Amino acid sequence: MTPTEQQLKHIKTQYQLYLHTEAGRDDLATAMKMLKQWRREAQEGFDTYLTKYVKITNLPNQISDRMECIEITPICLNNLCHTNAELMKSFGYASRLGYNVSSCPCGKAHCFELHTVTQAKDTLIDYTRDYAGETSKWFFPISTSLHASTFLRLFGDRHTVIRTDSGCDCYGRVMYPGYKMEMDEFQEFIDGVGKVVAF
């Protein structure tokens, strides 16, 4: 169920009030630091994997059939999706852990970045502003009740950004940040995560 305009206005107001708290000011500083770093890297020619490059036909059906392209409602700060989703719980939402899926221009090298979105009944909503200004994201939900903090404790940082390559012939050949996996290895890992019960 998509929130109404009045509900969105209320969320925006409350989020702005949050940004004036100590925790909110810390979040703002973190988001601005990360945004400046990305802009600096973009100016220096650092290649970025983007949502718009994703070609789902280059992904196995077990992955692509579960992916959903979510329009971004950019109310909350960039790069702080896990925190943002926790804050949205105060408005009665649930959170959903998964991976944001992006790709290189040829669509054969993929980046799976741990991501949390908000869930309202059967509708997934992404309130986190995208650092690259994209208006939508491919989201691959994990069948788990784990939250990001528990996921990190169990599986470590290296599983927060996972790269796969099915024959990239552009800049995906260079070492892009993240843990490299074969696609079948990634699927096996995801299946294993789904068997872990939150505690």
- The rounded radius of gyration (Å) of the Cα atoms in the chain is 17
Q: Which residues pair with residue 163 across a beta bridge?
A: 111, 180
Give the number of other CB atoms < 10 A from CB of residue 77: 24
Give the number of other CB atoms < 10 A from CB of residue 72: 19
Task: Return d(Cα 15, Cα 1) in angstroms, integer.
Answer: 21
Residue 117 DSSP SS3: strand
At 172 the pLDDT is: 46
Token look-up 């890992």 returns 189
Average pLDDT of adjacent 10-residue blocks, the chain of 199 residues: 85 94 95 88 72 93 94 94 94 93 90 94 93 92 88 88 86 61 89 72
At 174 the pLDDT is: 52
At 49 the pLDDT is: 84
Q: Which two tokens stand for residue 176?
A: 């892009």
Burial 126-137 (b: 16+ CB within 10 A, else e): bbbbbbeebeeb
Task: Return d(Cα 81, Cα 190) in angstroms, integer.
Answer: 20
Q: Which helix (H) or strand (E) holds 188?
A: helix 183-194
| CA proximity to 104, closest of 37, 58, 139, 71 | 58
Query: What residue spans of 19-102 are helical by DSSP H?
Result: 22-43, 61-64, 81-88
pTM for the predicted model, two decimal places: 0.88
| CA proximity to 112, closest of 38, 39, 179 | 179
For the chain, domain boundaries: 5-194
At 11 the pLDDT is: 93
Task: Return d(Cα 43, Cα 69) in angstroms, integer.
Answer: 28
CA distances 167 to 18, 89, 179, Å, are: 45, 41, 17
